[in-house]
């Protein structure tokens, strides 16, 4: 059974872009956990957070990980909070190899600093909030990851590196 390629990392680390490139290059199905939840719940993430709360969204993520662990040979791009829960990471790793896209806070800020679709970043002290959240999360991403890939380089480069690693271990 072909293992899934699972991308994890902070918001703005390039998971969606790299995921699309990987799917195109490898001819595989792409599943984005955020898009999966939006479709299932029939409302944007910002509304799920506002109307149902973050805990509800996190429960959706856990359910999605259970469903996706049954698939094989897919590219799975996860939301920035998905693999923080050990339970979720354990599920997705049943048939997936997890790659952490590693970027620093400055790169994230320049990529998504003006984005309004991410509820966790809608604050005045965005830079401090982002840096605090990132320093709390990095150890958890590292715990979930099988491989860490530098994502401060162009997406096609990240994509190539992931394919090389994947091919060498599967
Ligand atoms: C979140 C990241 C978002 C989305 C939600 C929560 C997080 O996904 O799942 O806004 O907790 O980091 P991206 O990482 O794709 O932005």
What's the pLDDT at 114?
Answer: 85
Q: What are the residue ranges spanned by the domains of the chain? A: 4-169
Ligand 1 atom nearest to 13, measured from its CA: 14
For domain 4-169, is the CATH number 3.40.50.300? Answer: yes
Instruction: For residue 80, report the distance from its CA to the centre of ligand 1, in Å.
Output: 4
- Three-state SS for 110? helix
Please name the residue whose Cα sits nearest to atom 15 of ligand 1: 79
Round to the nearest angstrom and report the end-to-end CA distance of the chain.
10
Which ranges of the chain does DSSP label H, i.e. alpha helix?
A: 15-26, 33-41, 45-47, 54-68, 86-92, 105-112, 126-144, 155-169
Ligand 1 binding site (Cβ under 6 Å of any ligand atom): 11, 15, 34, 45, 79-81, 118-120
Residues forming a β-bridge with 150: 102
Q: What is the DSSP letter of 68?
A: H
CB 95 within 8 A of CB 89: no
The single residue listed with the structure tokens 């354990």 is 90
The single residue listed with the structure tokens 């799920």 is 48
Instruction: For residue 78, report the distance from its CA to the centre of ligand 1, in Å.
Output: 8
Q: Give, for all 170 residues of the chain, the pLDDT tens digit.
A: 899 999 999 999 999 999 999 999 999 999 999 999 999 999 999 999 999 999 999 999 999 999 999 999 999 999 999 999 999 999 999 999 999 999 999 999 988 888 888 888 888 888 898 999 999 999 999 999 999 999 999 999 999 999 999 999 98
Instruction: For residue 9, report the distance from its CA to the centre of ligand 1, in Å.
Output: 9
Please state, in angstroms and rounded to a whole number, the distance separating the CA atoms of residues 9 and 6: 10
């Amino acid at each position: 059974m072909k293992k899934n390629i699972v991308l994890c990392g902070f918001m703005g680390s390039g998971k969606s872009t790299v995921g699309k490139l990987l799917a195109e290059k490898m001819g595989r199905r792409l599943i984005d956990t955020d898009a999966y939840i939006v479709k299932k719940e029939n409302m944007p993430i910002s509304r799920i957070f506002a109307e149902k709360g973050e805990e509800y969204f996190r429960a959706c993520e856990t359910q999605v990980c259970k469903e996706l662990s049954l698939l094989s040979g897919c590219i799975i791009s996860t939301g920035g909070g998905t693999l923080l829960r050990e339970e979720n990471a354990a599920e997705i790793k049943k048939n997936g190899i997890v790659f952490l896209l590693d970027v620093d806070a400055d790169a994230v800020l320049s990529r998504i600093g003006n984005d309004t679709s991410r509820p966790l970043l809608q604050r005045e002290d965005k830079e401090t909030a982002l840096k605090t959240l990132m320093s709390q999360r990095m150890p958890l991403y590292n715990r979930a990851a099988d491989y860490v890939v530098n994502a401060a380089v162009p997406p096609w480069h990240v994509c190539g590196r992931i394919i090389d690693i994947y091919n060498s271990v599967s």
